[in-house]
Homo-oligomer: A and B are copies of this chain.
Amino acid sequence: MAIKSFDEYVASLRKLKPTVYMFGEKIDNPVDNPRIRAGINATGATYELAQDEKCRDLIVTTSPLSGEPINRFTLPPQSIQDLVLRVKINRVLGSRVGTCHQRCTGLDCLCTLSIVTYDIDKKCGTHYYDRFIDFLKYVQKHDLTGNAGVTDVKGDRSLSPHEQEDKDMYLRVVDQTKEGIIVKGAKVHQTGSLSCHEVIVLPTRTLAQGDEDYALAFAIPADTKGLIHVVGRNSMDTREIEGVDCGNTRYSKYCPTLIFDEVLVPWERVFMFREVEFAADTVSRFSAYHRQSHGGCKSGKIDAMTGAALLMMEYNGTSKAGHHKEKVTDMIHIAETLYGCSLAASYEGKKEPSGTYFIDPVLANASKIHEGREMAQVTRFLIDVAGGFVADLPSDRDINHPEIGGLLKKYLKGATGIPVEKRIKMLRLVEKMAMESADTISDIHGGGSPAAHRLTIFRETDINYKKNCAKRLAGIED
């Protein structure tokens, strides 16, 4: 059965036995660790949507490979409409989980490989595309979630991969056997690596001659031997673990460091091997897809933040304050800007030789530049509207304390007629959405750094057309 329910999804994760460390401890059952589980819940929302009457039509479609119903998060886009729905579904999900749902990155890898493996084969006479399609059928059949193993640790950033002192600073092949290749290295900021079934690895940057060992793409199960997930710290990380003061009552995000300690990848799962000249296109397509995804999910997250701001106005008694309305209007404007540019990138997409549709990269990057710059403003506006308790609201353990709980409830009361509990919950949600580092950093670095987005927009622009416009107006003939 191709479409998993939320429960089936969680059950399928339980069957995996990944190696996991967090805060100095080995975690044997990550699915039931409350912090990791909050992330799993967020990805789980993509499964819930397929069970939701109102959203099913949006997210369930038919596989062109199998003719079976599949979740769109397993489908490289086969039409403009598919591209557009990526953005719309992401917006719904962003507003539904109020954080990153973590399933887009795997899909963005699938989209990329569905183009690039075809192009490599055409040029090099290899057979990656068929391997990839087999993998894709498997993913669709089991409604699996993939994780994007893209960002290497990079070591000294002024040096290319093969120039590094320690050659493992970018994931590389260290050996090959009849069964497959042995890889070594680490991928970082692996959003949701324990919420996924498969880790899909792509190169993280342009490669040149000498970097052949680093030109790799492949997929392996998240619990493959030698893979170590180290779940790092983020700003609110102990809240879910303690089960108190979470703000977002169900969802959160975590981003492990993923060490590949000499991991075997079977040949049928290898999708690029030493073709350095395709690394640039691979990373550039992945990034473009991922920036398009952000235009959806982050505008959805702003929807939830805008709602929180409006409710804080109600709960504080400032609904009529003009300067608060101005800030909410700015928040809406930013959401629509991310969304509009990302939608336009989709509608203006084009078909690639393999049949997959690719978005307009300039418009997709235009959206992401706004995100990188203006999510910080959205957060600022939200804090401004909500007030100082975003930083120092007493814990629920105090609010429910027999001695001082009553006093706290008395003094935390806001606008007339609003139960104090509502205000407390909403302040806590604001705290989570404003101060969760895993989200904040992703606004800036997700899909590459702001400088990368800018470079892309410049590189992909038709500079000569613009020059010719100016020459014609000025009366300059060449």
Across the interface, which residues of B come within 8 angstroms of A97, CB to CB? 473
The answer to whether B259 and A245 have CB atoms under 8 Å apart is no
A407 at the interface (CB under 8 A from B): yes
Interface residue from B425, B454, B469 paired with A96 (Cβ < 8 Å) = B469
A326 at the interface (CB under 8 A from B): yes
The answer to whether B304 and A257 have CB atoms under 8 Å apart is no
From residue A290, how far is it (CB to closest CB) to chain B in Å? 14
Interface residue from B24, B316, B440, B454 paired with A333 (Cβ < 8 Å) = B454
A404 at the interface (CB under 8 A from B): yes
Oligomeric state, in copies: 4
A148 at the interface (CB under 8 A from B): no
A426 at the interface (CB under 8 A from B): yes
Q: Which of A310-328 contact B (CB under 8 A)?
A: 310-311, 316-323, 325-326, 328
The answer to whether A437 and B326 have CB atoms under 8 Å apart is no
Contact indicator per residue, chain A 237-271, by CB within 8 Å of chain B (1) or not (0) = 01000000101111100111101010000000000
Across the interface, which residues of B come within 8 angstroms of A223, CB to CB? none
Question: A204 vs B238: C-alpha distance in the bound complex, in angstroms?
Answer: 34
The answer to whether A310 and B466 have CB atoms under 8 Å apart is yes
Interface residue from B155, B249, B394, B400 paired with A233 (Cβ < 8 Å) = B394
The answer to whether A333 and B366 have CB atoms under 8 Å apart is yes
Question: A404 vs B227: C-alpha distance in the bound complex, in angstroms?
Answer: 12
Segment from A9-17, A134-142, A381-389 that makes contact with B: A381-389
A373 at the interface (CB under 8 A from B): yes
Question: A308 vs B189: C-alpha distance in the bound complex, in angstroms?
Answer: 21
Segment from A57-65, A69-77, A105-113, A334-342 that makes contact with B: A334-342
Across the interface, which residues of B come within 8 angstroms of A322, CB to CB? 322
Question: A464 vs B235: C-alpha distance in the bound complex, in angstroms?
Answer: 29
A127 at the interface (CB under 8 A from B): no
Q: Which residue of B lies closest to A432 (CB)?
A: B473
A46 at the interface (CB under 8 A from B): no
The answer to whether B228 and A404 have CB atoms under 8 Å apart is yes
A182 at the interface (CB under 8 A from B): no
Across the interface, which residues of B come within 8 angstroms of A325, CB to CB? 458
From residue A466, how far is it (CB to closest CB) to chain B in Å? 4
Q: Which residue of B lies closest to A316 (CB)?
A: B157
Question: A123 vs B457: C-alpha distance in the bound complex, in angstroms?
Answer: 49
Across the interface, which residues of B come within 8 angstroms of A156, CB to CB? 316-317, 414-416
From residue A202, how far is it (CB to closest CB) to chain B in Å? 16
The answer to whether A395 and B232 have CB atoms under 8 Å apart is yes
The answer to whether A333 and B153 have CB atoms under 8 Å apart is no
Across the interface, which residues of B come within 8 angstroms of A404, CB to CB? 21, 228, 230, 259
Question: A250 vs B475: C-alpha distance in the bound complex, in angstroms?
Answer: 9
A55 at the interface (CB under 8 A from B): no
The answer to whether B476 and A426 have CB atoms under 8 Å apart is yes
A369 at the interface (CB under 8 A from B): yes
Q: Which residue of B lies closest to A366 (CB)?
A: B336
From residue A18, how far is it (CB to closest CB) to chain B in Å? 13
Known contacts A307-B469, A333-B454, A411-B186; A230 and B389 CB within 8 A of each other: no
Across the interface, which residues of B come within 8 angstroms of A316, CB to CB? 154, 156-157
Tell me which of A250, A310, A394, A411 has the highest count of chain B C-beta atoms within 10 A of its own C-beta.
A411
Across the interface, which residues of B come within 8 angstroms of A157, CB to CB? 316-318, 414-415
Q: Which residue of B lies closest to A155 (CB)?
A: B413
The answer to whether A366 and B340 have CB atoms under 8 Å apart is yes
The answer to whether B306 and A416 have CB atoms under 8 Å apart is no
A354 at the interface (CB under 8 A from B): no
Known contacts A347-B343, A426-B474; A233 and B395 CB within 8 A of each other: yes
Give me 20 other A-B pairs in contact (C-beta within 8 A), A23-B395, A340-B342, A391-B437 excluded: A21-B394, A21-B401, A26-B403, A96-B472, A153-B412, A169-B411, A169-B413, A189-B389, A230-B404, A251-B473, A256-B392, A261-B407, A310-B463, A339-B344, A341-B344, A343-B344, A373-B380, A388-B445, A425-B474, A435-B435
Sample (7) of A-B pairs whose CB atoms are under 8 Å apart: A98-B470, A153-B412, A235-B236, A307-B466, A329-B457, A340-B342, A373-B380
